[in-house]
Amino acid sequence: MSEELPPIDEWIKQQKFETTAEIKVPEKLIDQVIGQDKAVEVIKKAAKQKRHVMLIGDPGTGKSMMARAMTEFLPKEELEDILVYPNPEDPNTPLIRVVPAGKGKEIVREKKLEAKKKSEQQSSVIMSLSIMIILTSIFYSVISKHPEYALFGILGGILIYALLARGAMSPSRIELQNTPKLLVGHEKDDKPPFIDATAAHSGALLGDVRHDPFQSAGLETPPHQLVEAGAIHRAHKGVLYIDEINTLSLQSQQHLLTAIQEKKFQITGQSERSFGAMVKTEPVPCDFILVSAGNLDALQGMHPALRSRIRGYGYEVYLNSTMDDTDENRKKLIRFVAQEVVKDGRIPHFDKGAVAEIIREAQRRAGRKGKLSLRLRELGGLIRVAGDIASSEGAKVVTREHVIRAKEIARSLEHQVASRTIETRKEYKSFKTEGAEVGVVNGLAVYSADPSLSEYAGIVLPIVAEVTPAGSRAEGRIIATGKLGEIAKESVQNISAIIKKYMGKDISDHDIHIQFIGTYEGVEGDSASLSVITAVISALENVKVRQDTAITGSLSIRGNVLPVGGITAKVEAAAEAGLKRVIIPKSNLKDVLIDERYRDKIEIIPVETLREALEHVLVGDGKEELLEKLSRMRPPEVVGKVELESEKRIVEPKK
């Protein structure tokens, strides 16, 4: 449990700095990683022992930074240059040679100088021969008085020079065939390489052989000169980083597995129609550490054998998306602000007030009390926008006002769309914010929740219910419209169980119609369960619902209100829409971290049961009678863990 700290504004005053310019930024990249202490320890161990690592976590939590930092901890090992030589016996199987770092460039340079020298000597000989032929022909044409000799001699000299000095048989082309190509080169003091192969196609990842359009008449390029190293070869003795590894084709993942196992991999043409498909080198060294990364869904698209290899010879790490709101972690966020300012290099430093606002935003985006968000890439974006605003005004430091203005500018696309949707619905009166109606409830939802974003956009979701005589003699039906997803459909189906249990009513002779208004993008999740059951009960009992109140919460079939996600965004959406009250699950109350501008606009009412929610939202005739009925029909209470073999732990409520 995190320690109780004073509010941000009081806490920041106790810190011994005036601006982030006074905060020391660590030199090592690994020390700049925030909130991932366990993952950092694993990275250090993996680097020293040369183990593979798979990092799974939300975007912006530091996966690529940790992968890049691995090179700082790799054991000292001499890097190697890789050369490809022509194979006199089989030109389509170039030879691979490995030399110490820095030697490869020297070898290629020496070979090129030697080839150039020979080429110049041969060119001068050919030139002399051509001139001699031309002069001789002119001399004989003068003596014999046959000018055609001179013409033939000049044409012959030019033809010989063009053929031998500049054509397919030229010395430079012949020497090119004997000059090796540097596939992978390093300087002697280079650090181990870090190669980012994210979204690389097969040729860029595994190496390729370029297509040669001139494949005959002696004009073709020597096959070894067409060979190109892949990311796995350039990462030799270093780190290969692949984000969203599940986006690689299964064939590429299989080849990657082979490279990891064998520590060498042949280069061949990746296109079947290319000339390079005929070329296949000797195995090329590729002894690297693989750091793969992705979200949880990345596991579904991974080749089972590749993941097994990583698990057997390395580590799997699930990164934190939040950290405890402690004194130490708040100080880390101060350092993070300083790091981002230094890294950007174009924005001024932040004062205490601006830093306090960034920490408050980290609390808000965490979505849970006592936590700070570790989706630092998005916080970094907010820092840069605030810095840009300060720079445009010529301010020497970024202040709280700059950050507050930046929050409005840096809103996600979903937030902007949600705001305009709410404005449009208010204008066309898609929902009401005052009065009372039967069977009409203002629900709340999250608009297009993108898993790559830590901040949700809330929206008001009007829900209307109506009860009609059953259209079938066999049974009544629950008919829900509004492009519902699977989970939403299942949550609606639970309504009949709750109504039978609480209301004591047989609804088999009724059809219940539920309409989600304006849900063109669809509805998914069960967070509207409480809103739906409220609308249905209102329609069944003909009791009015307050229209100045929004409702959100999941509901169990026992009538308990369960927590939902995106609670802060939903409450803010209700306030922005002009609603006065919002009913939320009591277990979510600690997670509500709304902006200051909304606090005086809306009343938050936490509830634990369906009866509590109805007590706050229903008005008019029939309310007290309905609540009394609900009290009598209250379901059993769970007082302990329910064993699968029996239900001895379930007891009836005391009368």
Task: Write the CA distances from 571 to 120, 442, 461, 550, 603, integer angstroms.
Answer: 81, 12, 12, 9, 9
Q: Please identify which of the residues 237, 280, 371, 570 carries the catalytic annotation.
A: 570
Round to whole Å and give the CA distance between 460 and 604. Answer: 16
Round to whole Å and give the CA distance between 448 and 414. Answer: 7
DSSP 3-state assignment of 647?
coil
DSSP 3-state assignment of 416?
helix
Q: Are 436 and 398 in contact (CB under 8 A)?
A: no
Look up residue 166 and give its amino acid. R
DSSP 3-state assignment of 561?
strand
Round to whole Å and give the CA distance between 190 and 177. Answer: 30
38 catalytic? Reply is no
116 catalytic? Reply is no
Q: Are 51 and 313 in contact (CB under 8 A)?
A: yes
Q: Strand pairing of 561-562 and 544-546?
A: unpaired
Q: Are 190 and 79 in contact (CB under 8 A)?
A: yes
Token duo for residue 193:
């390489």
Q: Please identify which of the residues 170, 252, 527, 531 carries the catalytic annotation.
A: 527
Closest by CA to 242, choosing from 31, 55, 452, is 55
Burial call 279-301: b when 16+ CB within 10 Å, e when fewer: bbbeebbbbbbbbbbbbeebeee
Closest by CA to 77, choosing from 183, 158, 192, 181, is 192
Round to whole Å and give the CA distance between 22 and 274. Answer: 59
Round to whole Å and give the CA distance between 601 and 405. Answer: 20
Round to whole Å and give the CA distance between 461 and 440. Answer: 11
Active-site annotation, residues = 527, 570
